[in-house]
Amino acid sequence: MIGLRKLTAMLAFPLALSGCVTGAEYSGEQAGFASVADKTAIATAKQTVWIQNQHQAQSVAAEVKSLLARRKVLDVETAVQIALLNNKGLQAAYADLGDSAADAWQSTTLINPTVSIGTTGMGTPELEAFKTIEGMIATNILALVTRNRDVAIADTRFRQAQLTAAVKTLEVAADMRRAWIGAVAAWENVGQLQRAQATADAASELAEKLGETGAMTKGGQAREHVFVAELAGETAKARLSARLAKEELTRLMGLWGSDLDYQIPNSLPPLPKSVVKRDTIEAEALRSRIDLQVAKLELEATAKSYGLTEATRYVTDLEILTGFETEREIEDDEKTTRTTGQIELEFAIPIFDTGKARMRKAEVAYMRAANLLAEKAVNVRSEARSAYEAYRSNYDIARHYRNNVVPLRTKVEEESLLTYNGMISNTFELLADTRDKINSILLSVNAKRDFWLAEANLAPAIYGGGATSASEETDVAAASGGGSGGH
């Protein structure tokens, strides 16, 4: 009984050293996800879920079907909501959050001690009178002493994983919004190309008839025919591009099977009456960018790891062994029992490895994290300025095409029609002016697309989530492919 009491006391010894850190906040099924949902809701005004069982999966699938059925034509806000609910890559990112929570939870648990019990004198009559029972518990005391630091590092990594999951959520939302804009613009371009195709077909047919009467040379006929052929090729390419753009929407929303039968609009929304003024966009970005907060936590975690390395520079494996020894001796039919405690300390002597290399690695890691944070802060401010500049400038460019270029081309076409009716100009001059007007409309559509893309990049520039370079949005490109109505 004396030995048992001593063994119980020794088992409690590591608990006294370890402190009272629990892992309750890391052990839940949705550990840390509430923070992710709250942060992303501010930037997206959308709901996101972490699916972890079949019931949740069925509930989300029903919600997605309801969203698809609610609208015949899928608008951008509904598309973003479906992506946040149904994107499988996003669910994988949330699983990484769960993995970090489990690591943090593990760091709060006590280290299991090693128990050994042995005896001598068993089975030998000569030694039976001198029986010895020994018990020993080995505990890594250094791990117990540094446990609070380990927990702090794991907690920082956990908070970093929360922010990383939030950044991934914002990336999916931003990618979805840009993909929707690109796809709709592609289909709108196709509609314009098809109108141009109708005009070109009429010109080609007229050229053929004039050629039969001898009023047009074969070279002139060939020029009209080749224009029709080239335009047909461009229209086919545009339609292919638009179909591929819609497939990108499908991938981001995680749709398959019967859910693929959805439609998107044939044209982008009109330009707003005015742009949003953001005079303090740099300050907003520095205050709200989640990826900048991730970099700050990386520096914090590295600093804590540096402190732990410094604390364990000389001694890396310190174990305390506590136990007891009970001796029983029988002499002249009298039994004598003695129980004594034992304590042993085991550690490595730092003769060869003095920890300087590990300290140097920790210092370099800290400086790397500090410089990456500084670089991120500079980039965040620049990205915010660039995003707003692209937003403001693309609005002016799109308005210019809408208010000046297209109306002027329309006026030229109307005047050409009047002169044609007055027999002042010929048919091909009228058709040429009509084609020029369609080209201007295509440029106007692309300028409007670039504005909406720039508008979609404002939120990622402020909150994080993959803002693109402003230069990518300033190209007023030629028609992207697509097909007309009911896409």
Report whether pLDDT(94) > 80.
Answer: yes
* Cβ burial, residue 50 (10 Å; 0-12/13-18/19+): buried
**Angle at CA of residue 247, ends 245 and 248, nearest 5°:** 65
Q: Is 180 exposed, middle or buried (0-12, 13-18, 19+ CB in 10 A)?
A: buried
**Helix, strand, coil abundance in the chain, percent, nearest 5:** 70, 10, 20
| Mean pLDDT of the 465-477 span | 53
DSSP string covering 304-335, please? HHHHHHHHTSS-S--EEEEEEEEEEEEETTEE
117, two tokens: 């019990």
Phi, psi of 468 (to 5 degrees): -90, 165
DSSP 73: B
Least confident range of 162-166, 183-187, 297-301: 297-301
Name 307's Cβ contacts closer than 8 Å, sequence gap at least 6. Answer: 149
Angstrom CA distances, 460 to 47, 254, 390, stand at: 17, 22, 13
DSSP letter at 277 equals: P
Q: Closest Cα to residue 19, out of 146, 201, 174?
A: 146
Whether 17 has a pLDDT exceeding 50, the answer reads no
Helices 33-44 and 147-213 cross at an angle (nearest 10°) of 40
Backbone angles phi, psi at 313, to 5 degrees: -60, -45
- What's the length of the chain? 487
**Average pLDDT for residues 11-28, to the nearest whole number?**
56
Q: Are 140 and 345 in contact (CB under 8 A)?
A: no
Q: Is the pLDDT of residue 220 over 80?
A: no
Q: In the predicted model, is pLDDT for residue 303 greater than 70?
A: yes
Residue 462's pLDDT band (boundaries 50, 70, 90)?
very high
DSSP string for residues in 374-407: HHHHHHHHHHHHHHHHHHHHHHHHHHHIIIIIHH
**pLDDT-based confidence at 272, cuts 50/70/90?**
very high
Position with higher pLDDT, 231 vs 186: 186
Query: Average of pLDDT values for 323-338?
Result: 59
Least confident of 71-75, 310-314, 456-460: 310-314
Task: Name the range with the highest mean pLDDT among 154-163, 205-214, 474-483.
Answer: 154-163
As a whole number, the mean pLDDT across the chain is 77
Which positions ≥6 away from 182 have C-beta within 8 Å?
A: 245, 248, 449, 453, 480
Which residues make beta-bridge pairs with 114? Answer: 138
Residue 408 has pLDDT above 50, yes or no: yes
Q: Give the residue-averaged pLDDT of 368-386.
A: 90
- Point out the least confidently predicted range of 117-126, 166-175, 426-435: 117-126
d(CA 199, CA 414): 15
Residue 143 pLDDT more than 80?
no
Q: Is the pLDDT of residue 393 over 90?
A: yes
Residue 279 has pLDDT above 70, yes or no: yes
| 415 or 187, higher pLDDT | 187
CA 15 centroid distance within chain: 41
264: confidence class by pLDDT, cuts 50, 70, 90: very high
Q: What is the pLDDT of residue 451?
A: 96
Give 438's DSSP letter. H
Q: Which of 174-188, 222-236, 264-278 has the weakest average pLDDT?
A: 222-236
Least Cα distance to 409 among 366, 438, 443, 388 occurs for 438
| 385 has pLDDT over 90 | yes
414-458 pLDDT tens trace: 777 676 555 555 566 766 777 788 888 889 999 999 999 999 999
**For residue 461, with 0-12 CB atoms within 10 Å meaning exposed, 13-18 middle and 19 or more buried, which class applies?**
buried
Task: Tell me what pLDDT residue 186 has.
Answer: 94
Q: What are the pLDDT digits (tens) for 26-72?
A: 777 788 898 899 999 998 999 999 999 999 999 999 999 999 988 78
Q: How much of the chain, in percent, has pLDDT values that exceed 90?
A: 34
End-to-end CA distance of the chain: 83
Residue 236: C-alpha distances to residues 110, 161, 243, 363, 478 (Å)? 66, 45, 11, 59, 14
Top pLDDT among 118 and 46 is at 46
For residue 350, what is the DSSP state?
-
Q: Which run of H or E residues covers position 223?
A: helix 218-253
What does the pLDDT read at residue 153?
A: 82
- Give the single-character DSSP code of 117: E
Asked if 268 contacts 445 with a C-beta cutoff of 8 angstroms, the reply is yes
Residues 351/316, Cβ–Cβ less than 8 Å: no
Answer whether 86's CB lies under 8 Å from 60's CB: yes
φ, ψ at 326 (rounded to 5°) = -115, 125
- Residue listed under structure tokens 């003695």: 338
Amino acid found at 360: R
Which residues, including other chains, have CB under 8 Å from residue 229's CB and lie 6 or more apart? none
Token pair 């010109």 in the structure block, residue: 203
**Residue from 155, 136, 128 nearest 21 by CA:** 155
136 has pLDDT over 60? no
The residues, ordered by sequence, that sit 6+ positions from 360 with a Cβ below 8 Å of its Cβ are: none
Q: Is the pLDDT of residue 1 over 50?
A: no
Alpha carbon 458 to chain centroid distance?
Answer: 16
* Confidence class for position 222, pLDDT limits 50, 70, 90: confident
